[in-house]
Structure 1
């Protein structure tokens, strides 16, 4: 419809003015409980519930029951009025006038009127109840935008074999608008064509949301919408939890380091408490994750015992283990992982004799636990904390320099502070043991070793400086 507003004014000027003496209003109370969407194959509209008062309006009468044909909801939303010429001789037939919310107006041409009456059950029902020997004007007021309605009439012009090509030019957003209009005026061919097109093309996230809202708002025939609904909703998948472990297993087995990092980020986003992907955050299967941890630890022992251990393969396995430990701790199910790591006596023995270039990756896993303990993210009893320090504090002191040179995203300042904070959670006598070990290594290695001077000062004050009021 390319008619301009100026053109509309000129067309209207050549015709005698319509002087309404009575008006047929089809509005319903917005709170009417019968205002319910209908199926495209519902019965034709009935006008039996309207009563003509002349002069005056046709409106629901409180004392009479109202026909609950759902067409009334459409008329409440879409149809403003039907007006008749006073003398009945100004023009014969009817005009269709579209009025947008912004005040823009379009009057349909004769050909467009014929087309819409031929294709729309709503308009056929309206015209069927009128005396076409007199002049009528049908006005659809308050339309959100006229483009959707004009595009719907454009679709009516197309033959069946051209509909998909025509909709492809309009695009997904346009097709969704046409679908809503087609459903509202009961243009069944338009509904079918739009649903067929929308099922076959990709959607943006915004278009997907619009489509979801539309399908929830209106009661479409399920046989027409089942293919689209199968793209929107996974009927057989009630929870994402069962998918998490298989996906994580696939990532850990991947040989490409760049791909693994990208998939790490993807999975971390899905599992995050601030995830944008879902309302109910996925919870990984605890037993499945720990099975993966045991499998990786077994592989590490085999790799370390080879004649010429592969630094690349060892690094890959420890990177996977480090990632799994972060997931477990983030989900607050990491206590067992600390027990598992404490009991790796064979790996600790291998650490003492292995090349620093290979062994320092073991301390990357320990670093995750030190940070979690020092920042209060994980809670284990004092005995387990002591056992962890007894097993992995020494290796951390000698590997700290290597971690500083190759942090791979590890926050070294946070690690340094967290080691001191975690150490201060032990009993005073236990702290003394580890501070003495730190003094020895720090005096030899300097900044190749974590600087725990602040934590040591706290320990000293608590041990020897008497507080005010203490005897």
Structure 2
């Protein structure tokens, strides 16, 4: 069917020609965003029709603004802003022809601005720091701290500022002092607070309070410290604080009463009273412990009597005279001691014997104190002239009389070691009075030494004897030689000193050749 085919071909060609019509001439572009709907808008509409408006997303698919997205770190909020979603939908459906008429999308309302008064007067803050520790405390209640601390009131104004504390103050003490400024507590509560921290913490709080001139804190700390004991290191810190802040002298009065006597007395006078009390005591164990205590106080390395150059010599010798007089009275009044052949405690009597032991022990202790303080020469002379006791020596029991030689032994050792500087005549008088009793009682001293070093005693007797003249030495050495030949080791061994005397007298005299 050719006719039908050609006709259809012609119709198709006609349709293609009708589609290829030349476009109308291009209109000139205007710089203004305003468009003429009859020209450019129509031509543009004929060329490319406007796209269909986008389908608005559901409210739950729209991204919320940044200010509403993060409610807390790490969590996204599902809450959307309805005003923002509505504005976005209206803008999407707007045509280009209505750009001038389409308002910009409405933004969420800004947060309400702070009041003008708040901007002009920011919140006052006080910064308190520990310089050494690098610790800073910020305090909001500036006015309260200003009322409590004179330093803060002077340094800063009402708008706050910074106050730094120097010194090695503990952080807890610093914080405790600041908390005391901010809290109105009664005295009981404050004492309870300080007691929880202890003495060291209270001293730290006191130091901070003194630095800040926080009077209420100073008074509370002083009341607590006055009522509790301290150790030696805490005492030193308290003394240092009291000396650094003399303006608080009135507040320190009660605390100073524990550190400084109101009416100073000499420690040497008190030591004499202690010595006298010991000599009058009756408990032997307690007396021994107290003697050790006083000896430690009187030692050269002691700090207890550092301010006193020496003891009261006259007072010490008064106690010595009292002991010797009591000793003479015991020897004279005890009729049981008059028998020289009695050697048992039952025959002598335990009561008198114990009292004699006590008096000899006290006398020896006093003598040692005098020797250590280089004041014993007078006692050596006193003992050399004690004729009553020396005359009674041979008439009493050896168990008793050897106690007298115990006193002589202390003097012999001191003379032989150069600690007693008696004159030659006084030394010889002492030997005349007590050398023979020593030769008799040496065996008893060896048997009952009671702390006496017998070898040291022998060396001391020999060296003291060699300080006499050669003629005086000859008399005493001959007496010793005779006693030693009869008693043996019951007599002191003075052979070495005897050899020295013999060499000086007969072998190497001055002017003789070697």
Q: Which category of TM-score, normalised to the shorter sequence, fits these structures?
A: 0.7 to 0.9
Name the structure 2 match of 1:302.
329
Name the structure 1 match of 2:508.
466
Name the structure 1 match of 2:420.
378
Name the structure 1 match of 2:98.
none
Name the structure 1 match of 2:318.
291
Of the candidates 100, 111, 119, which is equivalent to residue 148 of structure 2?
119
Give the direction of change, closer, same or farther, for the CA distance of 1:358–1:282 in structure 2 (3 Å limit): farther
Consecutive unaligned residues in structure 2, runs of 5 or more? 1-118, 338-351
Name the structure 2 match of 1:354.
396
Say which SS state the counterpart of residue 443 (structure 1) adopts.
helix
Distance 2:429 2:137 in 1: 85
Total equivalences in the alignment:
377
**TM-score normalised according to structure 2 size:** 0.68
Give the direction of change, closer, same or farther, for the CA distance of 1:382–1:468 in structure 2 (3 Å limit): closer
Structure 1 runs (4+) deviating above 4 angstroms are 88-91
1:180-199 → structure 2 map (5 Å cutoff): 180-199=207-226
Task: Tell me which structure has the larger Cα radius of gyration.
Answer: 2
Report the alpha carbon displacement of residue 246 of structure 1 after superposing the two structures with TM.
2.2
Distance 1:270 1:425 in 2: 33
Q: Deviations over 1:106-146 (max 9, x none)?
A: 333546x6764452232234442x5x3xxx65252654232
1:152 maps onto 2:194 in alignment = no
**TM-score normalised according to structure 1 size:** 0.74
1:249-398 → structure 2 map (5 Å cutoff): 249-281=276-308, 283-305=310-332, 306-309=334-337, 310-398=352-440
Report the alpha carbon displacement of residue 327 of structure 1 after superposing the two structures with TM.
1.8
Give the direction of change, closer, same or farther, for the CA distance of 1:330–1:154 in structure 2 (3 Å limit): same
Report the alpha carbon displacement of residue 91 of structure 1 after superposing the two structures with TM.
6.3
Are 2:272 and 2:315, in contact at CA under 8 Å, matched by a contact in 1? Answer: yes
Name the structure 2 match of 1:236.
263
Of the candidates 162, 171, 177, which is equivalent to residue 138 of structure 1?
162
Report the alpha carbon displacement of residue 102 of structure 1 after superposing the two structures with TM.
4.4
Are 2:381 and 2:426, in contact at CA under 8 Å, matched by a contact in 1? Answer: yes
Distance 2:180 2:482 in 1: 84
Are 1:342 and 1:391, in contact at CA under 8 Å, matched by a contact in 2? Answer: yes
Name the structure 1 match of 2:200.
173
Pairwise CA RMSD: 2.4
Are 1:404 and 1:412, in contact at CA under 8 Å, matched by a contact in 2? Answer: yes
Give the direction of change, closer, same or farther, for the CA distance of 1:323–1:433 in structure 2 (3 Å limit): same
Consecutive unaligned residues in structure 1, runs of 5 or more? 1-87
Are 2:405 and 2:441, in contact at CA under 8 Å, matched by a contact in 1? Answer: yes
Say which SS state the counterpart of residue 140 (structure 1) adopts.
strand
Report the alpha carbon displacement of residue 393 of structure 1 after superposing the two structures with TM.
0.9
Of the candidates 107, 123, 132, which is equivalent to residue 101 of structure 1?
132
